[in-house]
Structure 1
Amino acid sequence: MKKMKTRSLALIIASMLGATFLSADAFCAPKASQTESSGLTAVAVIVNGNAITNYDIQRRAAFLRLQRKTGNLAAQAKDELIEDMLKRVEMKKRNMDVSDDEVDKAFAGFAERNHMTVAQLTDMLSKAGVTAEHFKNYIRVQMGWGRLVSARFRAEGGMVSEQEAVQRMLKNGGVKPTANEYELQQVIFVVPNNRRSAILGKRKQDAEMFRSKFSGCSNLKQQATGMIDVTIRNLGRVLEPQLPEEWEKAVKATPAGRMTPPQETPRGVEALAVCNIKKVSDDKVAQLVFTVQDNEKSGDKKAEDLSAKYLKELREKARIENP
């Protein structure tokens, strides 16, 4: 399965927000009167049965102000939130989950790039009327939607054809590209959703302890014997261009016979055991390598076009009601 190189979250948000925020002291969120406050929870629009409130629109409008947007911000905010809801519904339908840990890391990274601490960013968003919660929801949708677009790209056959790959190799003197092939096994410390907040920390400790005692893939199932809610999956052989984006950096940094650091995921806490690494060179590798090279050259445009097409399809099928 091929992975499309799309813009990183940092680039997506940077392009949306510009290099930095406006100063937190440049403006503060207007204080609503008691009458206005009571109307904030009123439903403004319903998208496929999911409500968007006036308060949601107020926060998104504040977010747009923070991006130096002009015009009818309330109308722009409402339209953006309708699109976000369509994306969220599709993410749920496709089981495309983004963990709290991923969102928190992205939030912290954004704060760092804007020369702030997490606390300072949280305070600034609150003063601006956006709130950290709203911004984190925005981040979650951006991350999940990017993965959906990538999956859609793969499903629509965006690979360089075998014939084209052969022609490129001939032009290159018959030299075939090479890539690392990883033999992987997945270790999942399952965390039920209804107990996530209570046991996630303990499961992370269990996963770290498991990793410290890891002695090779041949002993992996035996090591997990007797442990509660621990699942081992054999992922087989995966070429480097096929590595999932969220695991790519960790796998490439892990030598054979070792495990990646555990990561929080929607299923719980996971790590990958790198059983073996070897260099391979064949027609399939050539197709993948050439496809990745093409996407790195024009990936932004392809991602934007496919995202727009995908969203248009969702809008055409959606039930959007204004109460």
Structure 2
Amino acid sequence: MPLLTRTIALLSGASLLAAGFCAPAASAAETGRSANIDASDPRDGGLAPRKKGGQSIAVLVNDEPITAYEIEQRAAFIALQGGGGGEDFKAKAEARWKSIVQNPKTNDRFKEILQKNNVQTQEEARALQTKFIKQLQADMVADLKREARSSALAGSKGKAKEELIEEKIKLQEAKRLNVTADEADVTRIISGIAERNKMTIEQFGQHMKSMGVDINTMKARFRAEMSWREVVRRRFGHMVAISDREVDQFVANAPVAVQSDVELQVQRVTLPLPAAVDQSIIARRIAEADALARQYKGCASLPELAQSVGGKFEDLGPRKPSTLAEPTRSLLLNASEGDLLPASVGQTGVELWALCGRKSSAESSARESAQNELRQREFEVLAQKHLKDLRQDAAIEIR
């Protein structure tokens, strides 16, 4: 049997899978970008950015146009944001590869390549086989990516049109109120995204273009959202007021946070004792302290009460529990705000301690987050209502 025939028989007697054909492992770049758009590929189905064509007016919003090109670009951007679905892409690749391997035409193509290159040795055949497999895999991945982005783009056009109509209305209202976002502010946002991806803004623009999206499409979305935030703030900022009760209720219903870095707001009244004391003097001072405690009506009353009995009043402000001696520390930690502790004998006299407040960094942060969350919810409700009203009043012509 001639060497060429033996070589072909060796490599085609079983499926190419048995001869070393293995399913491709889609790279992270491929799985994460299966919906990406390759502007340089002539088979992209017309998804790459175009300077000409597609400029026909698709929608008029209060006589301002939205072009077919803008809709196509926004749809491509939405599809790009959707990602490629790594696991789904991998499963499709494995199924497609199995189909390619089992297709008799695949072996026929490989035989033609062997004959065309006049292969005489198994080494030459295996080298061609490796090249053939790599090309098959590359073509398959490219086909899958084109199919994925074409499908994603088709499903995004309706959403893109609606998004652009709403953005046009938002920008018109922003222009009316003179709060349209500046180009410099929009560019600053894009630059930040580019920097986080370790690119210059020019490189980022080229990167977006290579995926079929003009960077101006991204800028347009940011400009509309930034402008709309200013519209909402200008119109409704004075109407949104969150009460402490609402914040308390929100925090109470949120997951319990670990209370760390507690600070106690404390006041102290000291009834001094002479250098030489006996039990009768101490008892008298404690009785005076007890009488003062019976008149106590909250932390605000303590300075005047201290003065009435010749005591020393101190507003010690926020104190870490660790700076307070026992048993005062434990008593204060277990007291409620506004409580006055029973009289105790300290180093310089009989003391009365009052807990005037309690806070922690975790609690403060939780309340601030709760207030911001509640404000944002209120703004969103008002913003949606305002946008709905503006849209009802708008003249929208879909061509």
How high is the TM-score relative to the length of structure 2?
0.39
Q: Return the structure number with greater relative CO, CA threshold 8 A, min gap 6.
A: 1
Larger Rg: 2
Greater fraction of residues in strand: 1
Greater fraction of residues in helix: 2
